[in-house]
Structure 1
Amino acid sequence: MNIIETHNLTKTYGSFTAVHHLNLHIKKGTVYGFLGPNGAGKSTTMKMFLGLTRPTAGGFLINGLQYPKDRMTILKNVGSLIEEPAFYGNLSGRENLEIIRRILKLPKNSVDDALELTGLTQFSNRPAKKYSLGMKQRLGLAGALLGRPPLLILDEPTNGLDPVGIHEIRSLIRSLPEKLGCTVLVSSHLLPEIELMADDVGILNRGRLLFEGSMEKLREEAAMKGFPSDNLEETFLALVDEDNRKRRHMQ
């Protein structure tokens, strides 16, 4: 069963195509790694799922609901962390989450629940401006987890973190499907991180999907093409390089 399906999803800005006939299949209860060089169209795709930008053509389903018809219901079922989380620095972590909880009209205990899930309970009354970068990312994740949505969309959640912070966020993301029964769509340019946390991956280059499937399937396909298959970074670079070469020949 897929929680996200896209059907020829396309986004153009003038003559530039950011996302081109994209067909994704994201299974329920998995961590799906969304990979691609900068400008590949990952963030644009995620913003379409969140209703922040409208598709030019094609469409998508989230949990069986259709965009744009069921837009409001979709948004209630999705938690997200896109770009850097923004907080009121003078308010505590708890107070920041309380604002989000009220906007979403969630039960009062959902703040304690999100703080516990992200390991922030003991720091909940500290002003957000005194949080380390890793703690701020965890607070962003806590905001996304409020009300335990069935789908989380996380754009570069380990950006700018030190190795300890990266490990903490990775472990947390990896544990969520089992703990909450949710699905996580996570983009990153840190490929070894994706390798350690994703069940399936989708590789995007210049708006087109080059590969979708399990790590095992990716290794098999890479080996068949004579590409490096024991290191995700090298496999990814070989796939993108091959696609760029093909495009140059077509021009």
Structure 2
Amino acid sequence: MEHIITTNGLTKRYKQFAAVNCITLHIQKGKIYGFLGPNGAGKSTTMKILLGLTNPTSGTFSIDGKQFPKDRIAILKEIGSLIEAPSFYGNLTGKENLDIIRRILGLPKNSVEDALELVGLSEFGDRLAKKYSLGMKQRLGLASALIGRPAILILDEPTNGLDPSGIHEIRNLVKSLPTMYDCTILISSHLLSEIELIADDIGILNHGSLLFEGSLDEMRKAAVQRGYATENLEEMFLSMIEQDNAARKTRVKL
């Protein structure tokens, strides 16, 4: 089992508040890792740390054998990301928007067409971005993350705000990518049913702490041992969160 992303005791504090609290992750190469947790659990902060957008207070991480911060630039060259809603120049075409990114990254010209083909937007590359539907904009955002075919994709809520049809499109696209070109995906979502359909492994965060990491089968086994309902991921997830919240309240009272 080869881990392409590992963290050790990763922590991010803002004064007395721990947004990320000593988490240790193991993300397998070529797999989809689903990151779950309530709002404010620390998912986005963890992703921003991995992207070098914010520095950890303590702890370490490595990506594809490279250590942060020593190999920061080399790490970034291996990662494509979609954090929050993508933004583009509305008066430029989808192709022109991607070409700006291509030039910044110093990639060959065919990278634009390749990225558009990966996300199914080849026939819409010459359409102005402002005329794209919300689902098409999300696909263009994914194309900007995929340009150059990075080894790792970090996607924060890529289906946020989409209708069921758009969610279905993005889900199928994300699910196909590891097989299509052997990439690894770290994806966060509030839609637990979506993660259940695409993820190989999951990590569950609550109040900045990692409550569980492993496969869905391993989670079901853990749920049985703890006496949780095991019919679906949402029930197991909510049981785990509720138990952790109750334990925190008890510790505060003590």
Question: Do Structure 1 and Structure 2 share a fold, with TM-score over 0.5?
Answer: yes
Work out the number of aligned pairs and report it.
251
Point out 4+ residue stretches in structure 1 off by more than 4 angstroms. none
CA distance in 1, matches of 2:112, 2:172: 21
Code of the residue aligned with 1:198 in structure 2: it is A
| % identical equivalent positions | 66
Alignment of 1:215-226 (within 5 A): 215-226=216-227
Instruction: Report the counterpart of residue 232 of structure 2 in structure 1.
Output: 231
Code of the residue aligned with 2:4 in structure 1: it is I
Q: For 2:10, what is the secondary structure of its paired residue?
A: strand
Q: For 2:229, what is the secondary structure of its paired residue?
A: coil
Q: For 1:129, what is the secondary structure of its paired residue?
A: helix
Instruction: Report the counterpart of residue 18 of structure 1 in structure 2.
Output: 19
Q: For 2:27, what is the secondary structure of its paired residue?
A: strand
Code of the residue aligned with 1:27 in structure 2: it is Q
Q: CA deviation at 1:22?
A: 0.5
Deviation sequence 1:146-195 (CA, Å, 0-9, x none) = 00000000000000000010001000000011001000000000000000
Instruction: Report the counterpart of residue 196 of structure 2 in structure 1.
Output: 195
Structure 1: give runs of 5+ residues left out of the alignment. none
Q: CA deviation at 1:230?
A: 1.7
Q: CA deviation at 1:224?
A: 1.4
Deviation sequence 1:22-64 (CA, Å, 0-9, x none) = 0000000000000000000000000000100000000100001
Alignment of 1:118-129 (within 5 A): 118-129=119-130
- Superposition CA RMSD, Å: 0.5
TM-score (norm 1): 0.99
Alignment of 1:91-130 (within 5 A): 91-130=92-131
Which moved further from structure 2: 223-232 or 92-101?
Answer: 223-232
Alignment of 1:130-169 (within 5 A): 130-169=131-170
Q: For 1:54, what is the secondary structure of its paired residue?
A: coil
CA distance in 1, matches of 2:77, 2:22: 26
Code of the residue aligned with 1:28 in structure 2: it is K
Code of the residue aligned with 1:196 in structure 2: it is L
Instruction: Report the counterpart of residue 182 of structure 1 in structure 2.
Output: 183
- The reply on whether 1:89 has 2:74 as its aligned counterpart is no
Structure 2: give runs of 5+ residues left out of the alignment. none
CA distance in 2, matches of 1:163, 1:13: 37
